[in-house]
Every structure is written in structure tokens, then in C-alpha cells.
Amino acid sequence: MFREVFFKLVPYTAMSKIQLAVVDDHNLFRKGMISILQQVPDFEVVMEATNGQEFIDKLQNQTIDVVLLDLQMPILDGIKTTEIVKAQFPDTKVLILSMQDEDQFVLHLMEIGANGYLLKDTDPEEVEKAIRKVNETDIYFSDFVSKIMLRKMNRKPQQESKIFNYKTDLSEREIQVLKYICEGLTTAEIGDIVSLSPRTVEGHRLRMMEKLGLKNTAGLVAYAIRNNLV
């Protein structure tokens, strides 16, 4: 009863909805995804594009909370698009939807700033969950990505490629905080464990991102995995 009254008093509005974009060069997939997303009451698909360049052009005049982004597209692919979005529109969360399932490929997308990574055969329910998660907390690890992280952590250290070979040293405290971040703990939970205020913990996270040239928490996790810190 209360729930019904509440929603009558506070109906969904354009301001309260999560503003979405779907970028994919396959019309059938793009239109199908839009149709699915439009069934969620607090989702609003306000933009669609067939390639990264078209999306970037449209993004100049429209605020987007979360973009569902394909990788293999003409003109401007998903990797380059992610780099541009994170550099020019850092408040827009990038959720990759792709058929690419190679470990190193997924970790690379995380390092350059993607907030989440889903395969195109993912159930609609998980897509909805991922959108909400990246919009609220900046990062979403699907079971698929979690398994990649576990495989990486269980392997013996290997020679890093030059692309991912970061030489910047982190302090012991920063490494300690990073390990707890990788365990999925919140800023407040980390603060309680290491006897620091949430503000100080957040300061460590931001400094690590700045030191390493990373865009978000997902990049920090990928860095930790690649460099055998967890």
C-alpha cells in the first residue's frame, strides 16, 4: 500500500531516470537492446549511435549516465571511444557489450576506464543489474570478468607487455588499500580495517589513479591483477 502511494506521489521523471545510450553498428542488436531497456521504468534511452564517432559527436550536446558500447565498429571502435569518453566526458559510465572474451582484452578495457564488461549473450536481468551498479558505484564485475580475475591471480607471474608495464611505485599503505579495494570493500569498510577516515581512504584511491594514469576503480583492480598485488 505504501509503495503504491509513494509512486503516485513521486512518479518517475526524466530527471530521476538513468539516461542511457546504446552504441552498436548492428541495427537488429541495437534496436533489440533499446526495446529491452525501455521496459525498465527508471531507464530512459535518450541516444543511439552506429559507431563511436557518431556517439562522441552527439555527446557534445546530451548528458549520458551510462553508455552500452560495442567494440567492433566502423570509423571509431569501442576501445578508442572509451578512451575519448573517459578523457572528455568522465562522468559518463562505459559498459562494454561485446563477443570478445579474451582475458587480456578484457583487462585492457578495464585499465583504460571501462566501468564494466558484459558478453552479448548476457541475460537482460544482468544487463539491468550492471547498469544500476556502474551508475551507483562506478564498477560492475560480472561472473565472466570475476573468473578472468581469478585465473590471472592463480597464474605464475609472467613478463608484462610494454602497454601494461607500469613502473610507478605505490606506497605500502596504498598497496594495502588497493588490496582491500580488490576484495570489493567500500571506502568506509576499508577505513575501519586500516584505522583511517573514509576521506583519507578515498584520497589514497585518487592518488593511486593519478600516479598510474588510470581512469577509475576498475583500472586499479586490473593494475593490481597484472602486477600480482592480489
Say whether pLDDT at 161 is over 70.
no
What would the pLDDT profile of 64-120 be if each residue is shown by its tens digit? 999 999 999 999 999 999 999 999 999 999 999 988 877 777 878 888 889 988 989
Say whether pLDDT at 124 is over 70.
yes
* Alpha-helical regions (H) of the chain: 2-9, 27-37, 52-59, 78-88, 103-111, 124-137, 143-154, 172-182, 187-194, 198-212, 217-226
Predicted confidence at residue 128, as pLDDT, reads 96
Q: Residue 23: how many CB atoms within 10 A of its CB?
A: 27
Cα angle value 101/103/106 (rounded, 5°): 70
Least confident segment among 93-107, 126-140, 194-208, 209-223: 209-223
Chain centre distance of CA 188: 21
What would the pLDDT profile of 24-60 be if each residue is shown by its tens digit? 999 999 999 999 999 999 999 999 999 999 999 999 9
As a whole number of angstroms, the longest Cα–Cα distance in the chain is 60
**Cα radius of gyration rounded to whole Å, the chain:** 19
Residues 195, 162: contact at Cβ < 8 Å? no
Cα 189 from Cα 40, distance rounded (Å): 32
Question: 56 CB contacts (<8 Å, ≥6 apart)?
Answer: 76, 81, 84, 85, 88
Beta bridge partner(s), residue 68: 22, 95
Cα 87 from Cα 214, distance rounded (Å): 11
**If we measure between CA atoms, which residue out of 182, 180, 220 comes closest to residue 198?**
180
* Overall average pLDDT of the 146-163 stretch: 53
* Overall average pLDDT of the 111-131 stretch: 91
Q: In what order do the strands lie in the sheet with 18-23?
A: 43-49, 18-23, 66-69, 93-98, 116-119
Share of the chain above pLDDT 90, in %: 40
Q: What is the DSSP letter of 34?
A: H
Which amino acid makes up residue 18? I
Predicted confidence at residue 7, as pLDDT, reads 39
Residues 219, 112: contact at Cβ < 8 Å? yes
